[in-house]
């Protein structure tokens, strides 16, 4: 079965500093990887995805993620954090076949950006 | 385009009752998935519908069921509610296959007393 791990429950970073939110995955085939963000009392918002191609994926709000096949990682990064980036971040893998798909989410990492 | 909408946003029910939650996907999206979010278990997949057919189901008891209509709108039903069913229920829509991202609604907060 496919799985996703987010080893950090919480990440603290100062505004203006670079941030990294870690994610590792376990899949049996080609990984379809996603990052979502959840702001308080709201649903999840799509940030970016890796399907194939370039290992560095760029997404919304200045976020990017690096796919590393040998380390089975898909870390989320941003060069300069903003206070407004404070939220709950989920890494996810999509699994299934033409008969149906489901998304497996990591436990989530809460990001705090301090002014 | 309008986003994914879910109704109602908040619901309070008593143990043993049943509840129906509704989800309207983004226009043109044929895939609708449901998730349960709780502080202890995180985000758990309930089921996915595509063109009115349930294609995949998570590890939830039979009390949890759903359906999708011809206009892609979806409902999920929970019968014989238990205290542990208290959660945020999220609906997500996408164009289809595994490579497409999902767009989530704001959720329905269900409280079972």
Q: Which residues of B touch A43 (CB under 8 A)?
A: 4, 90, 92, 104-107
Residue B98 Cα distances to A19, A32, A35, B33, B45, angstroms? 28, 7, 14, 12, 15
Q: Which residues of B touch A42 (CB under 8 A)?
A: 106-107
Asked whether A107 and A6 are in contact (CB, 8 A), the reply is yes
The end-to-end CA distance of chain B, in Å, is: 37
Paired sense of beta strands A10-14 and A109-114, if any: parallel
CA-closest candidate to residue B74, choices B10, B29, B106, B11: B29
Q: Which residues of A touch B58 (CB under 8 A)?
A: 102
B101 at interface of A, judged by CB pairs closer than 8 A: yes
Read off the pLDDT of residues A57-98 as tens digits, 9 standing for 90 and up.
999 999 999 999 999 999 999 999 999 999 999 999 987 766
Question: Between chains, do B101 and A90 touch, taking CB under 8 Å as contact?
Answer: no
Read off the pLDDT of residues A18-66 as tens digits, 9 standing for 90 and up.
999 999 999 887 889 999 999 987 789 999 999 988 999 999 999 999 9
Task: Kindly identify which residue of chain A lies nearest to residue B89, measuring between CA atoms.
Answer: A43
Read off the pLDDT of residues B28-45 as tens digits, 9 standing for 90 and up.
999 999 999 999 899 999
Read off the pLDDT of residues B61-89 as tens digits, 9 standing for 90 and up.
999 999 999 999 999 999 999 999 999 99
Instruction: Output the pLDDT for position B3.
Output: 93
Can you point out the beta strands (E) in chain A?
3-5, 10-14, 19-21, 24-26, 33-38, 44-50, 56-58, 64-68, 73-78, 87-97, 100-105, 109-114
Neighbours of B52 (CB within 10 A): 13
CA-closest candidate to residue A4, choices A103, A77, A110, A111: A103
């Amino acid at each position: 079965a496919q799985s996703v791990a987010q080893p950090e429950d919480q990440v603290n970073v100062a505004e203006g500093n670079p941030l990294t939110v870690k994610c590792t995955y376990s899949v049996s085939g080609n990984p379809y990887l996603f990052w979502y963000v959840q702001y308080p009392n709201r649903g999840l918002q799509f940030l970016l995805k890796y399907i194939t191609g370039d290992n560095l994926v760029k997404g919304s709000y200045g976020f990017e993620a690096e796919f590393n096949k040998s380390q089975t990682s898909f870390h989320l990064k941003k060069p300069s954090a903003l206070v407004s980036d404070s939220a709950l971040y989920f890494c996810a893998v999509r699994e299934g076949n033409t008969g149906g798909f489901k998304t497996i989410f990591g436990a989530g990492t809460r990001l705090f950006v301090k002014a | 385009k309008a986003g994914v909408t879910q109704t109602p946003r908040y619901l309070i029910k008593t143990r043993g009752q049943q509840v129906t939650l509704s989800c309207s996907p983004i226009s043109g999206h044929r895939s609708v998935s449901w998730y349960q979010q709780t502080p202890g278990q995180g985000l758990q997949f309930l089921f996915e519908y595509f063109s009115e057919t349930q294609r995949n189901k998570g590890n939830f008891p039979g009390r949890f069921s759903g359906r999708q209509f011809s206009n892609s709108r979806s409902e999920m039903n929970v019968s014989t509610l238990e205290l542990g069913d208290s959660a945020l229920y999220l609906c997500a829509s996408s164009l289809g296959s595994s490579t497409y991202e999902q767009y989530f609604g704001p959720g329905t907060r269900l409280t079972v007393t």
